[in-house]
Structure 1
Amino acid sequence: MNRLEPRMRIVHVIDHLRSRGGGPAAVAANLARAQAEAGHTVALCTEHPRADEPEFSTGRHTDVRRFRNDGLLPALRGRHDAQGVVAQALDDLRADVLHLHGLWEPALLAAASAARQRRIPIAANTHGMLDEYAMRVKPVKKAIAYQLIYRKHAMSTSLLLANSQREADAMIARGLGARVAVIPNGVELEALDVERQRGAFRRAHPELGEDPYVLFLSRLDPIKGLDIIVRAFAILHQRGVNARLVVAGSDWGAEAPLREAARSLGVEDRVHLVGPLYGDEKKAAFADCYCFALASIVETFGIVIAESLAAGRPVVITNTCHLDTIEPNRVGVVTERTPEAFADGLASVFADPAEADRMGERGKELVRTRYTWPAVVQACDAEYRAHGITERNSCSRS
């Protein structure tokens, strides 16, 4: 942002920052860091860290405060530890806005209560939690909870940020339209520079040899579509394409079915599970892959897709990933969500290595112009202002 523009005082709240949790924690940490680096005054409130689980970094300029993650009843009774921690942060910063991440977590209800008591506007990223598919998981419980508690919570916000039009449409369908804006998630600028890591992943995994590999990098959750990908990969192998499939991520229930499918399809020796990857190891996996693959049942915005593009590699995704910039910008292939269609998509990318490289270069440029965190901060600043959230709010409070 322009350093001459007024700076805002922003308090973010998310239930945890654990890397294993993926998307929401990554967005909260990176947005807070990018806003602080742009000159805003930023605090982030979250639960105490766990000794055995790494967390996403919020950078050097974000004031991180910790709370005990109590349950729903303490939140409804005004006794959740987060309420006091967030209240103190709001007061210390003389905050202009409380920015929540998520929907169902009791800590967010407690935080919102602290903001309302101080008449501080609330912005929120729901991270796809109001999506039609997400609402079908434990549907009765969620429907009751939404009507009794969380609808009022959502209606109390000044701004609801969706990261795709699909997510925005889900919010609008619930009568939240006036406060909805679409801002995509971001990618770290460092993700654009993978040259130093090129070759490192192959050296660490000599079992890959020189064969090109398709990369899946996400949590191993049934929602992520590994069943589609491994069947498509087997079809690709049957067609004579000499490739491998690298699966990176922590197990959320899909590892055993994936191993069984690979064995039954006769590609067990060409499917490599390498566990979760972070930092330079993650960048190295992107740098050396031929293409990236994702076939999720639903995505509102797949950060990992943008990360692959940032690394200069084409993507093959299903139309259920809902990233509408892929085909118009010719940075990958979007298919129907069937093994046969996905195999065709992979085959088309493998058929023309030169065009695959060109897709990768176009993908890097797309990320550089639309999906970096500085660009997201600018868009977020604009939406804050458009919805009446400005630095002037702090001037009226003692």
Structure 2
Amino acid sequence: MKKHRILHITGSFNQGGTERQAIETVRGLVAADEFDIRLATLNLEGPLLAEARDLTAEPIHTFPIDSFMSRSFVRAVVACSRLIKDEDIDLIHSHDFYTNIFAAAVGAFAGVAVRIASKRETFGMRSRRQESVENFAFKHADAIVANSSAVKEMLVEHGIAGEKVSVIYNSLDTSRFENASANGIRSALHLPGETPLITLVANLRHDVKNVPMFLRAARKVTETTRAHFVIAGEGPLEAELKDLAASLGIAGEVSFIGRSMRVPELLSASFAGVLTSNAEGFSNSIIEYMAAGKPVVATRVGGAAEVISEGETGFLVEANDSERLAEHLITLLKSPDEAARLGERGRSLVKERFAKPRQIEALSELYRRKLREAFL
């Protein structure tokens, strides 16, 4: 029996949560071998590109655009539509804001049987105009994958039919974190040898990650307790964040290590993980911290409360409450046995709820259902 052919479209291969989830999704679907999976992008760049190229035997198709209002957008839509017709694509699945808009135009132009969009962030990260355009794309999609119940609720509040939205949480290859060794990672990243490490994994491209909150908490913690704070991520905000650390008098207690391809090893060496975002759909970092067996202190945004059980796997604080964040970290640092227990509970929860096979089966079932409806 011929396999249904599915085209996944991602914006780029930068090392962000959305890009990582797109790659892990394609990897899992290819391994399951139920569908014929193809991959396309708007921008053939990023540190994950080599990994992406190894996923399928087919080349990655590229459809570069300058803006939605440019001629390049029209050319890209026409080219992708031709690909869909030539290769008999049955379903297209877009993974982020830009590809949701692009795929909506392609789907309408090419007449593809099934269009699935994704929403991986809460509102507040886009302009009103962008949100309006994306909502239009959602209303013309056959289904939308939301990565948390919080995101689904937000979509429904903005006029999207609830039955159109499927909650499929981010997945994780937990073995990458279970088998990671901390040996040598402190030396390789020029981190202190014995001091407990408090780690934030976040890009430094968007203010929404609220890294200043992390730094303000770091100052309060280091006033009373021995700890070193690590920021793993890169972006144009790095220089001003370093200036802020210096002005807070904690430049020596904070390490900006840039983009790291060794996050499992870094987390293995860490004491706790932190999320300080003002808005998220569902944070990859939280489940990575938990998979590494570390307690988590996170802001109560997006789907954080759907994975963190207060006092069981970590703690939740309100956005910008650096005082409360610091208090929880100090408590953990003074109670390492309790911190280890929280970390182990988190590890068990991630293995049970967020292991990759669970996500792939849920997504495959969505594909089956929508393809059956389209080809009845």
TM-score normalized by structure 1? Answer: 0.84
Deviations 1:169-191 (A, max 9, x none): 12101221231121111112442
Measured in 2, the distance between the counterparts of 1:198 and 1:7 equals 43
Q: How far is 1:284 from its partner?
A: 1.3
Q: Is the 8 A contact 1:161 1:180 kept in 2?
A: yes
Deviations 1:199-243 (A, max 9, x none): 22112145412101101111123211211111111111112x101
**Equivalent residue number for residue 192 of structure 1:** 177
Measured in 2, the distance between the counterparts of 1:104 and 1:60 equals 22
**Equivalent residue number for residue 142 of structure 1:** 130
Measured in 2, the distance between the counterparts of 1:56 and 1:190 equals 21
User: Aligned partner of 2:316: which letter?
Assistant: V
Q: How far is 1:252 from its partner?
A: 3.5
**Mean CA deviation greater in 287-296 or 53-62:** 53-62
Q: How far is 1:161 from its partner?
A: 1.0
Q: Secondary structure at the match of 2:51?
A: coil
**Equivalent residue number for residue 13 of structure 1:** 9
**Mean CA deviation greater in 207-216 or 329-338:** 329-338
Distance of aligned partners of 1:376 and 1:7 in 2 relative to their CA distance in 1, 3 Å threshold = farther
**Equivalent residue number for residue 113 of structure 1:** 108
Q: Is the 8 A contact 2:11 2:43 kept in 1?
A: no
Q: Is the 8 A contact 1:300 1:321 kept in 2?
A: yes
**Equivalent residue number for residue 127 of structure 1:** 120
Pair 1:44 & 2:39 matched: yes
Q: Which consecutive unaligned segments of at least 5 residues does structure 1 have?
A: none
User: Aligned partner of 2:315: which letter?
Assistant: V
Distance of aligned partners of 1:104 and 1:47 in 2 relative to their CA distance in 1, 3 Å threshold = closer
Q: Is the 8 A contact 1:316 1:334 kept in 2?
A: yes
Aligned-pair identity in percent equals: 22
TM-score normalized by structure 2? Answer: 0.88
Deviations 1:369-395 (A, max 9, x none): 11122211111123334xx4136856x
Measured in 2, the distance between the counterparts of 1:379 and 1:329 equals 30
User: Aligned partner of 2:196: which letter?
Assistant: P
Q: Is the 8 A contact 2:151 2:302 kept in 1?
A: no
**Equivalent residue number for residue 370 of structure 1:** 353
Measured in 2, the distance between the counterparts of 1:47 and 1:74 equals 14
Q: Is the 8 A contact 2:44 2:62 kept in 1?
A: no
**Equivalent residue number for residue 219 of structure 1:** 203
Measured in 1, the distance between the counterparts of 2:120 and 2:190 equals 38
Distance of aligned partners of 1:91 and 1:190 in 2 relative to their CA distance in 1, 3 Å threshold = farther
**Equivalent residue number for residue 268 of structure 1:** 251
Measured in 1, the distance between the counterparts of 2:75 and 2:228 equals 49
Measured in 1, the distance between the counterparts of 2:2 and 2:272 equals 42
Q: How far is 1:65 from its partner?
A: 2.8
**Equivalent residue number for residue 277 of structure 1:** 260
Distance of aligned partners of 1:372 and 1:82 in 2 relative to their CA distance in 1, 3 Å threshold = farther
The partner residue of 1:81 within 76, 79, 84 is: 76
Distance of aligned partners of 1:78 and 1:192 in 2 relative to their CA distance in 1, 3 Å threshold = closer
Pair 1:291 & 2:272 matched: yes
Pair 1:245 & 2:257 matched: no
Q: Secondary structure at the match of 1:132?
A: coil
**Mean CA deviation greater in 209-218 or 101-110:** 101-110
Q: Is the 8 A contact 1:250 1:275 kept in 2?
A: yes
User: Aligned partner of 1:132: which letter?
Assistant: F
Measured in 2, the distance between the counterparts of 1:121 and 1:192 equals 35
**Equivalent residue number for residue 319 of structure 1:** 300
Deviations 1:240-268 (A, max 9, x none): x1010011111232x23322222222211
Q: Secondary structure at the match of 1:63?
A: coil
**Equivalent residue number for residue 313 of structure 2:** 331
Q: Is the 8 A contact 2:151 2:303 kept in 1?
A: no
Measured in 1, the distance between the counterparts of 2:341 and 2:97 equals 40
Q: Is the 8 A contact 1:9 1:391 kept in 2?
A: no
The partner residue of 1:304 within 265, 285, 291 is: 285
Deviations 1:274-311 (A, max 9, x none): 11101xx2221111000111110111100111111111
Distance of aligned partners of 1:172 and 1:362 in 2 relative to their CA distance in 1, 3 Å threshold = same
Measured in 1, the distance between the counterparts of 2:51 and 2:302 equals 26
User: Aligned partner of 2:296: which letter?
Assistant: V
Count of residues in correspondence between the two structures? 368
Q: Secondary structure at the match of 2:49?
A: coil
Q: Is the 8 A contact 1:6 1:391 kept in 2?
A: no
**Equivalent residue number for residue 65 of structure 1:** 60
User: Aligned partner of 2:58: which letter?
Assistant: D
